[in-house]
Structure 1
Amino acid sequence: MDLNTVVEVRDARHPVPWRPGDAWLGGGTYLFSEPQPHLRRLIDLSRTGWTPVLRHPDGALEIAATCTIAELSRYAKELAAEAAPLFEQCCRAFLASFKIWNMATVGGNLCNALPAGPMTSLTAALDGECLLRAQDGARRRVRVTDFVTGAGRKDLAEGELLRSVTLPGRALRCRTAFRQASLYGLGRSGVLVIGVLDLRDGSLAVTLTASTVRPVRLWFPLPPSAAALRAAIGGAVADDEWFDDVHGLPEWRRHMTFRYAEEIRRELEGAAR
């Protein structure tokens, strides 16, 4: 879609003072999908040259905001890590064409803050941390579970930029389990639940996305009982935090979340033994 209110596109390698009507341009798959009448200028990140995925000496994985879904998928296929299958599962949760995969970025998916954003699901489940950069160069770090604060809402100040997301090395060494539900065969995720079992200490994290307005990550020192898991989910998600749109009623999302969380608990409890 043409954005006929945009009068200028600037290269992000040459910073300019931020002003009302500015927006960061990554892959543009969201920006160009619908009218953006409030925008006047785009700051293009495509030429920044950031390495899409970088493995640190301590085993942590840093994913640039400009990393495309296609690049992440290709990298994960060669990743020697217990959690590697989860990357492809979340990439496939896009249910998008190869054209979208080659343009859509990890950072864009996170900054849209949609409940069904699969990059939010992936990075929240693996305890990811966002690196944010302000216009004056100041940097701060925020966990993914705190970065996305609601449907379409994120902890991002005016002019602030999501630079990358870092996944700790310990999370990549964990066993994972994945469950997803949609109302339609090729529909947007209505429920997405991920379990992450630490094989070293037996701790279990269960992350809820798509069914809730924000990512919810529950951590247990040992796999809980069915009742304890159900109580933890009930206590963590308020009644008005179950998402409601054409892709699923809150009651259905809640029911399927409890169902999938229990399936994951059983699956990973067996692995822990």
Structure 2
Amino acid sequence: MDITTITSFRPARSRSDLRLNEGEVFIAGGTWLMSEPLPGTTGFVDLTTLDWPEIELTDDGLRVGATCTIARFLAWSEGRAADLPPVPAEWAAAHLVADAAHALLASFKIWNTATVGGNVCRSFAAGAMISLGAALDATAVIWTPDGGERRMPVAEVPTGNGTNVLAPGEVLRALEFPASALRSTVRLRKIALAELGRSGAVVTGRVDEDGASVFTLTAATAAPTVLRFAALPDAATLAASVGSVSGYYTDPLGSADWRRGVSIEFAERIRAELEEAV
């Protein structure tokens, strides 16, 4: 779409370039920003020119730059990016990147442009990278306008369907995934009312090396829901926990009751798979 209100475009080269003038917004892939009118927006500040590393392996796990495209993240996870560090063999949960990416309603053209950080910052309930980050206890690294930095769980960034905690001028710098979660056994299930429709419910479950388990609900609830257990719960306990969650909502993509029902069903299927796997 032609955004007729835009009169300026600035490439950011350093943090000092991230001070927004009135009417400016940040842009990276721009797949949402360029899809509809933006009244009141008069300028774009390009984050991709900061040249943040796409994938970094650290002592603590994995760091993904917010401007890394979903296509590049997927290629790395599948061993198809020769110029990026290889996936450590013990990171059994790396396959979840592909599972989450395929839960995103988007063509390959969108994958090659949309960024990991943009998907999180748009904060739609069905955001695929939100599902991934919440499932693997990722941390959002956020740059603040005063030159500082703050961190919080990716699961806590969205506050509703399309809303989040980011203050004006804040920038999502990276997502950090702990190695312990990447070594876990994990499963994902998703469903949409239409064959090629946006996900109406995405449920993930994982079992860590210490036996603790984590189940997450996204798309079905307006904001991510994370359920933690000291061990893999029995069927009744899990069903009661998933069923009692608040935040199931109704929209053209599914009713609240339907989202609740399929979430309970998928959580149990995942629980059974994890029970066999571990």
What TM-score, normalized to structure 1? 0.95
Q: Aligned with 2:50: secondary structure?
A: coil
Return the alpha-carbon distance in structure 1 between the equivalents of residues 268 and 243 of structure 2: 13
1:70 corresponds to which residue?
A: 71
Aligned to 1:250: 256
Which residue pairs with 1:157 in the alignment?
Answer: 167
2:82 is matched with none
Q: How does 1:66-145 map to 2 (within 5 A)?
A: 66-78=67-79, 79=87, 80=89, 81-145=91-155
Answer whether contact 2:11 2:46 (CA < 8 A) is retained: yes
1:67, 1:140 → 2: CA distance?
A: 20
Tell me which residue corresponds to 1:10. 10
Q: Deviations over 1:63-96 (max 9, x none)?
A: 1110101100111012232002111111111242
The offset of 1:16, in angstroms, is: 5.4
Letter in 2 for 1:94: L
> In the alignment, is the contact (CA less than 8 A) between 2:105 and 2:199 conserved in 1?
no
Deviation by residue 1:127-186 (Cα, 9 ceiling, x = unmatched): 000000011211000101111111111110110000001000000000111100001111
Distance 1:253 1:20 in 2: 40
Q: Does 1:146 align with 2:156?
A: yes
Aligned residues: 267
Note the residue ranges of structure 1 that are not aligned, 5 or more in a row.
none
Question: Normalising by the residue count of structure 2, what TM-score does the alignment of the two structures yield?
Answer: 0.93
Task: Quote the Cα distance in structure 1 between the aligned partners of 2:20 and 2:106.
Answer: 32
Residues 1:44 and 1:266: Cα distance change in structure 2 (over 3 Å): same
> Residue type of the partner of 2:51?
G
Match of 2:198 in 1: 188
Matched, 1:220 2:229: yes
Q: Per-residue deviation at 1:103?
A: 0.3
Q: Secondary structure at the match of 1:121?
A: helix
